[in-house]
Structure 1
Amino acid sequence: MTKPALSLLDVSLSLMGNAGPVDILHDITLDVAHGETLGLVGPSGSGKSSLLMLMGGLETATGGRITALGTDITRMGEDPLARFRRDNMGVVFQSFHLIPTMTALENVATPLELAGVSDAFDRAEAELAAVGLASRADHYPSQMSGGEQQRVALARASVSRPKLLLADEPTGNLDETNGAAIIDLLFGLRDRHGATLVMVTHSNDLAARCDRVVRLRDGRIDGSAA
């Protein structure tokens, strides 16, 4: 039997608040198959983004086990986890997180440069072209619209050809037209690189394009539908 791309077993997350620990996620058990597109939906505060951060090793679970691409990342140290993420994952955030002092091309090339890839800028240029921004390569984030910045963020997330692509409300800061274009690009990048895609969204239209939808409520899986 093929192992899943992502496997979560009895995963819990508690964070310290002003009045003591706050339980965010409770005993989440979930498998995501290789090449699957999974939508995480639910009301605000249900734990969707926290679950995505755990999948990407950007938050540490307080209970349970998380396996990504056959590797247990639950208690992995910060440096090896950063290298694992660099080599295997692409993450797209709602707020872009571009480096303001770098051009679009430099932003996209950064993960490849950190990995020591010799043709980092050639690959970054090709990835910018794939998201329709070849002519904006020398522009800084402040010179680009929100939709263009999110395209750069998509190119940066996909330039290393990740096996796992994680997206947290990728259209949340965009208007309807730009949001639709970003989603088409995101699914296109997934298809081009054969990645597994997990996406947090409030959009019913976007969720409908996923292979499977998992609904969260109060930090627990409320149900799933194909």
Structure 2
Amino acid sequence: MQSSTISHSDPILNLQHASLSLVGNTGPVEILHDISLEVRTGETLGLIGPSGSGKSSLLMVMGGLEQATGGTVSALGQDLTAMDEDALARFRRDNMGVVFQSFHLIPTMTALENIATPLELAGHKHAFERAQAELEAVGLGHRAGHFPAQMSGGEQQRVALARALVTRPRILLADEPTGNLDATNGDAIMELLFDLRDRYGATLIMVTHAPELAARCDRVIHLRDGRLDQTTTREAAE
């Protein structure tokens, strides 16, 4: 993992006047407008808002998966907006885990191989041993040799969670992690997500439409039309 001079009292993520503009068929489209936001170490932050409000785009900017076209985005004291694609990929590999709504597992790899891949890319000597332990942690040790197509949606999302956390990331980004699941599987993934967050002490930032997920966050950011609309905290809600 990359060393960093960030202290526990510093924000683990810091956005200052960040904006995102993408080029569409009819010209530039403004996705995010002048976002200034700090995320504290160990915090659980929810991003909510209507469809098209910029929630997923903001999450992608936080993870360097989309480069902000204005302002600055810093994570663990490092300026993501100053990094090229290779540097961003290394930074994410060493410091971030990402869980998508659509799982994004590699179809030609088994569950165990999918989970081991980030460790192998990082040159970890015991990639498959740790991957097996992570698979056990999400209750799928018996599925190690199965391919994604042989697993249910809930099982695939468990594998995706294990893959995101196998590197022990400081920051966990989750984009609608229960969005493609039925209520039963969604509840199970929600419990697992928070259990794993607590186990590894990761800072969790999550896009969600689920009120029950947002209610468990320390702070909820409401977005509208690519702008910060309002902020609520769990303490205020209670």
Question: What are the superposed Cα offsets for residues 112-154 of structure 1, whole Å, 9 maximum, x if unpaired?
Answer: 0000000100100000011000010110000000000000000
Structure 2: distance between partners of 1:19 and 1:110:
39
The answer to whether the 8 Å contact 1:60/1:75 transfers is: no
Question: What are the superposed Cα offsets for residues 162-181 of structure 1, whole Å, 9 maximum, x if unpaired?
Answer: 00000000001000000010
Q: How far off is 1:75 after superposition? A: 2.4
Question: Equivalent residue for 1:27?
Answer: 34
Q: How far off is 1:18 after superposition? A: 1.0
Q: Does 1:93 align with 2:100?
A: yes
Question: Equivalent residue for 1:65?
Answer: 72
Alignment of 1:92-171 (within 5 A): 92-171=99-178
> 1:74 is paired with a residue of what secondary structure?
helix
Structure 2: distance between partners of 1:163 and 1:85:
10
Question: Equivalent residue for 2:46?
Answer: 39
Structure 1: distance between partners of 2:165 and 2:37:
24
Structure 1: distance between partners of 2:156 and 2:31:
31
Structure 1: distance between partners of 2:82 and 2:107:
32
Structure 1: distance between partners of 2:25 and 2:111:
40
> 1:106 is paired with a residue of what secondary structure?
helix
Question: Equivalent residue for 1:185?
Answer: 192
Structure 2: distance between partners of 1:14 and 1:87:
27
Alignment of 1:71-90 (within 5 A): 71-90=78-97
**TM-score, normalization by structure 1:** 0.99
> 1:192 is paired with a residue of what secondary structure?
helix
Q: Identify unmatched segments of 5+ residues in structure 1.
A: none
> 2:114 is paired with a residue of what secondary structure?
helix
Question: Which stretches of structure 1, 4 residues or longer, exceed 6 Å deviation after superposition?
Answer: none
**TM-score, normalization by structure 2:** 0.94
Structure 2: distance between partners of 1:59 and 1:203:
24
Structure 2: distance between partners of 1:212 and 1:135:
37
Question: Equivalent residue for 2:4?
Answer: none
> 2:32 is paired with a residue of what secondary structure?
strand
Question: Equivalent residue for 2:179?
Answer: 172
Q: Identify unmatched segments of 5+ residues in structure 2.
A: 1-6, 234-238
> 2:146 is paired with a residue of what secondary structure?
coil
Question: Equivalent residue for 2:3?
Answer: none
The answer to whether the 8 Å contact 1:13/1:26 transfers is: yes
Structure 1: distance between partners of 2:87 and 2:26:
33
Backbone CA RMSD of aligned residues: 0.7
Q: How far off is 1:80 after superposition? A: 1.1
Structure 1: distance between partners of 2:192 and 2:133:
14
> 1:5 is paired with a residue of what secondary structure?
strand
The answer to whether the 8 Å contact 1:111/1:160 transfers is: yes
Structure 2: distance between partners of 1:75 and 1:215:
28
Q: Number of paired residues? A: 226
Question: Equivalent residue for 1:15?
Answer: 22
